[in-house]
Amino acid sequence: MKADKQKTKKTNRWLLLLILGIALAVIALNIRSCIDKRQVSRDTTQGIEFEKEGELTFLTANGSQPIVRIDIELAEDDYERAMGLMHRYTMDEQQGMLFIMNREEPQSFWMKNTHISLDILYVNEAYDIVSIHKYTQPFSTKSLPSVHPAKYVVEVIAGFCDKHRITEGDQIRFERLSTN
């Protein structure tokens, strides 16, 4: 009976050591995974640079007077629209991103994984600016809805709309760079 108890204690110790070893291995793998994710994120943010794909002009409400022209990067497919300006640390004042949606409907954006405060402008099919969210909060998951249906969304650096006096009712026009 005493030999059985000693054998049971020995088995329990080995079992405890085995469980402890597995737990430590799992913790080590989780830590490694977190480190790898941070490294991928850091590499991604350093690798994303602005790519001029067109030009966009902001116009007064009646479309007769140009206000300001910027270079734009286009977001035309689901992946580009989902990524947007996430994981970028800087953007020049004369740069922006134009999102081209599949159809005109209520839109909503958020600032998740976005390091830069932005002005977000929602634009309908007639190229009228229908709503603006200014000075958005970086990293926020708060929904920033268009209020009215929009076909296009323009993101520019925070303060751009105030500086250039761009308001709802103003318009946009854009041109793609030729792809020769």
Total H helices, total E strands in the chain? 3, 9
149 three-class SS: coil
Q: Name the β-bridge partners of 36.
A: none
Q: Which helix (H) or strand (E) covers residue 22, if one does?
A: helix 2-47
Distances from the Cα of 116 to the Cαs of 44, 87, 122, 153, 159, in angstroms? 15, 9, 18, 16, 12
Given this model, what pLDDT does residue 169 score?
97
What CA–CA distance (Å, rounded) separates 56 from 94?
A: 10
Given this model, what pLDDT does residue 14 score?
74
In CATH, what is the architecture of 54-176? Sandwich (2.60)
Can you give the residue ranges of every domain in the chain? Answer: 1-47, 54-176
Residues 6+ apart with CB under 8 A from 165: 67
Burial of 65 (0-12, 13-18, 19+ CB in 10 A): exposed
Given this model, what pLDDT does residue 15 score?
74
- 10-residue averages of pLDDT along the chain (180 residues): 67 72 65 47 59 97 92 97 94 97 97 96 98 98 97 98 98 89
Given this model, what pLDDT does residue 112 score?
94
What CA–CA distance (Å, rounded) separates 64 from 103?
A: 26
What CA–CA distance (Å, rounded) separates 157 from 43?
A: 23
pTM of structure: 0.74
What CA–CA distance (Å, rounded) separates 86 from 111?
A: 8
Given this model, what pLDDT does residue 37 score?
43
